[in-house]
Amino acid sequence: MYRLLFRLVLSRFDPETAHHLAFVVIRILGWPLLRPLTRALTRPAAAHEVRTLGLLFPSPFGLAAGFDKEALGIAGLGALGFGHVEVGTITARPQPGNPKPRLFRLIPDRAVVNRMGFNNAGAVAAAPRIARARRARIRPVIGVNIGKTKVVPVEEAIEDYLVSTRLLAPHADYLVVNVSSPNTPGLRGLQELDKLEPLLTAVRDAAGEVPVLVKIAPDLTDDQALRIAELVQRIRLAGIVATNTTLSREGLTTDAAVVAAAGEGGLSGAPLAARSLAMLRLLRETVGPELCLISVGGVTTAAEVRERLDAGATLVQGYTAFLYEGPFWARAVNRGL
C-alpha cells in the first residue's frame, strides 16, 4: 500500500514537504497513548539485542542522522522499530541551512541528493528535547550527531564543536562528530589528521563518560580511511560511523538531465552500498573485532543488513530507504533478521 501511495501521491510532492508531512505522523505515533500499540507491532526480537558502547541496543538496525534533525520524533521512530535513533546533525548555533530546493529524489536509483546544510535550531533548543526523550521508560538508544556551524571559520571549529558537546553530551547515549558532510564549506577538510586529532581529542575529553564516534566520508581513499582508523584507536575513541553521503554520481540509471538538475550535494541510497560495504570490510580488518563500527549507506532489506553484520558491522543504520519503503520499514528489517 505504501509503495502505491508513494508512486501515485508522495512522489509528486516536493521531497522536503513530503518529509515534513511524514514527520507529523511519526510524532503522533510517539504519543504516550499510541506508543505501546505501535511498539507491540514493531518490537524487535530479543535475540537480536546488541551490547556495545556500554549500551544495550534492542536491535542492530537504527536510523541514521539526517532524518530527525531537530530531535522531535525520537519516541515515534523508536515505536516504529528502530533500535537506535541518531538525531542531528545539530550545530552549536541555529542556522537555516541552504536555500530551497535542497532535497531531490532519484527514483530509478532509489537514491536522494541533498544539500540541506545542517538546517536546525541549534544545540540549546535540541538539548531539552533529547533530555525528555531519554527519560521515557521505553525508548530507543539515542545518538546525537554534531557538526560545525557554517558561519564559524574552520580555525575556530574545535570550540564550536565543544559548545555542542557541552550542551548535548549530558543527554546523549553516544555522540558522533560529523566531519564528513559535503554541504558545509570546509567541513571535510577536518578529516585531515592534523585537524582531526585535536578536534576528536577535545570532544572526547569534554564528553566525559559518553562514547564518542567519528563519521567519515565514502570519498576518502582507502589509505585516508585507514589512517583515521589508526587515529581512532590511538586516542581511544569509541568507534567509527561509515559512511556519510558521496559526491560521486557514477553508475546512476536516472536520466542524466534529472541528475544534473538536482545539482550539488551528497548522494545517498542504493548507489552508495558497494563503497560503504567495502569501507566497512577495510575498517574491520584494520581495527580488529572490538571497536564499534556503525555501517550506513545503501541498505534496504534484512538480507543487506545481515550482510553488513557478517562483514563486521557492530550496528547498521539506514535512512534513504525509509523514504521509499514507508513507516514499517524497520519492522520488516527486524522480522527479516
165 is an annotated ligand-binding site residue? no
245 is an annotated ligand-binding site residue? yes
The enclosing H or E element of 114 equals: strand 111-114
14 is an annotated ligand-binding site residue? no
Among 59, 164, 180, 181, which one carries the catalytic annotation? 181
66 is an annotated ligand-binding site residue? yes
322 is an annotated ligand-binding site residue? no
Whether residue 42 contacts residue 81, with contact meaning beta carbons closer than 8 Å, is answered with yes
Long-range Cβ contact pairs of 151-157 (< 8 A, separation 24 or more): 151/93, 151/95, 152/92, 152/93, 154/186, 154/189, 154/190, 154/195, 157/190, 157/195, 157/199
Torsion sign (Cα): 195, 208, 125, 139: positive
Residue 91 identity: T
Whether residue 111 contacts residue 268, with contact meaning beta carbons closer than 8 Å, is answered with yes
145 is an annotated ligand-binding site residue? yes
The dihedral formed by the CA atoms of 114, 176, 303 and 252, expressed in degrees to the nearest 10: 20
119 is an annotated ligand-binding site residue? no
Please name which of 133, 144, 141, 134 lies closest in space to residue 90, comparing C-alpha atoms.
144
Question: Catalytic residue at 295?
Answer: no
Strands 315-318 and 292-296, bridge-based pairing = parallel
334 is an annotated ligand-binding site residue? no
Q: What is the DSSP letter of 267?
A: E
Beta bridge partners of 215: 178, 241
Question: Torsions phi, psi of 282, nearest 5?
Answer: -65, -45
68 is an annotated ligand-binding site residue? yes
120 is an annotated ligand-binding site residue? no
The dihedral formed by the CA atoms of 279, 280, 281 and 287, expressed in degrees to the nearest 10: 110
69 is an annotated ligand-binding site residue? yes
Size of the chain, expressed as the number of residues it contains: 337
d(CA 215, CA 190): 11
Binding-site residues from annotation for FMN: 65-69, 89, 145, 178, 215, 243, 269, 298, 319-320
Active site residues: 181
Binding-site residues from annotation for substrate: 69, 114-118, 178, 183, 244-245
Binding-site residues from annotation: 65-69, 89, 114-118, 145, 178, 183, 215, 243-245, 269, 298, 319-320
